[in-house]
Amino acid sequence: MTSEPDISVFRPDRPGIRKVLGDLEAEIMELVWARPVGQGTTVRDVFEILYERRRIAYTTVMNTMARLAKKHLLQVEKQDQAYIYSPNLTQQEFVSRFVSRILEDLFVSFSGATLEGVNALPDPQVAAQVRQQLDEIARRRAVEESE
């Protein structure tokens, strides 16, 4: 059974999954998700890739991966003498879960304002239609002016 990921922070000013994960946590998760499905990874695998990007301590990577396992983002399995980490959810599933979780929390705490906010979001499809309409009018105006 997959446990729910533990989301305790939300930073609207950060991009992508960094809204709910620290920079190193997000970087590690991206590396784990980049691996073929069903193939686990070790702390050393992740450490070697990260070490090439910047000087980082092995223990920092190890502690961060242990924290991700504690947050139910990774699951850990002992094979022979090594600990193999694999993701509990795909990246898409994780995003979908934390968005639902945040929305649910907002609805519980501020139902009216959240509903209003969701309704108030501009509809990109309609905006695209109107832009198309404006382009068509501009084209017809140009033809009219040139006549």
Residues found near another protein in the complex (CB under 8 A): 116-117, 119-120, 122-123, 126-127, 130-131, 133-134, 137-138, 140-141, 144
Query: And the tokens for 12?
Result: 């609207």
CB of 138 to another protein, least distance (A): 7
Residue 82 or 137: the one with the smaller Cβ distance to another protein is: 137
CB of 62 to another protein, least distance (A): 45
What DSSP element (H or E) covers 136?
helix 124-146
Give 57's DSSP letter: -
> What are the distances in angstroms from CA 72 to CA 3, 89, 134?
6, 9, 49
Comparing CB distances to another protein, the nearer of 34 and 134 is 134
What's the closest the beta carbon of residue 113 comes to another protein, in angstroms? 9
CA atoms within 13 A on the CB side of 93: 12
